[in-house]
Structure 1
Amino acid sequence: MQNPTNLLGLHVLLTLKTAHNSKLTTCDSFINFVNLLLQEHDLELIGQTSHVFENNSFTIAFCLKESHICIHTWPEINQLTTDVYLCNYSCDNTQKVRTISNQITNYFEATIVKQTEVNR
């Protein structure tokens, strides 16, 4: 167990803008991408739910043993929101949260509109 002062971990919230609208409407591709991230970062998926809307925008929640990754896309305004939260119970996941957030930003070839880091 980690130091109790940082046990709850880091939560990164992002609003992103992209010119690649097709990525905002391809739910299955993003699910495949996140599954690769989970393997790369040795994170355990315990559940997943998603919904595709009439305009093919999507919302997905990946429930992890370590916490979660969520996304909501808005192709009509070329934006998405995502949040990545990992607790530090078994190890310090702070850098993983930042890396995964950057990888998601790169996946969408996006620019950051707003970024918030919350130490829980």
Structure 2
Amino acid sequence: MNSNSYSPGLHKLVTLQVDNIQKLTDSKGYIAVTNKILNRYGLEQVGVIVHDFDNSSFTISVCLKESHICIHTWPEFNQLTLDVYLCNYLQDNTQKVKDVTEQYISYFEGIVLKDFEINR
């Protein structure tokens, strides 16, 4: 990738409707599936912050060597927001961002309410 064609990366932001409330309140399950996704796609975690709220919803930020994955759940509304960004420093990660996002949609059996792609 030369400097004339360099693009910092794809940033996907999705909002999902999720009928399975248990998945919106299971932060440990989310961490387990995230670890599988990171291994599958060769992504390197450098830190993680988990916050479980009183209603069992959660916010989790996974800092990656390649950038980040963040989630916020609202079981009271059957929704979550997911943020996946991988930078393109050494390779084009555009398809990987799309594939990782699809893995989460599949895990949550989510219906996409909003889907934004930002080419940074």
- TM-score over 0.5 (shorter chain): yes
Work out the percentage of aligned pairs sharing the same amino acid.
52
Aligned to 1:73: 73
Q: Deviations over 1:56-90 (max 9, x none)?
A: 00000000000000000000000000010000111
Aligned to 1:63: 63
CA distance in 1, matches of 2:65, 2:116: 23
CA distance in 2, matches of 1:92, 1:32: 26
- Alpha-carbon distance, 1:48 to partner: 0.4
Aligned to 1:43: 43
Aligned to 1:32: 32
Tell me the TM-score normalized by structure 1.
Answer: 0.96
Between 1:2-11 and 1:90-99, the stretch displaced more is 2-11
Q: Match of 2:72, SS? A: strand
The ranges of structure 1 where at least 4 consecutive aligned residues each deviate by more than 3 angstroms after the TM superposition are: 3-7
CA distance in 2, matches of 1:103, 1:117: 16
Q: Match of 1:76, SS? A: helix
CA distance in 2, matches of 1:114, 1:3: 33
CA distance in 2, matches of 1:116, 1:39: 25
Aligned to 1:85: 85
- Alpha-carbon distance, 1:10 to partner: 0.2
CA distance in 2, matches of 1:43, 1:58: 22
For the aligned residues, what is the CA RMSD? 0.8
Q: Match of 2:82, SS? A: strand
Aligned to 1:95: 95
* Amino acid across the alignment from 2:73: T
**Alpha-carbon distance change, 91 to 24 in structure 1, aligned in 2, over 3 angstroms:** same
- Give the unaligned 5+ runs of structure 2: none
CA distance in 2, matches of 1:3, 1:119: 17
- Alpha-carbon distance, 1:40 to partner: 0.4
- Give the unaligned 5+ runs of structure 1: none
Matches within 5 A, 1:99-110: 99-110=99-110
CA distance in 2, matches of 1:71, 1:6: 28
CA distance in 2, matches of 1:3, 1:100: 25
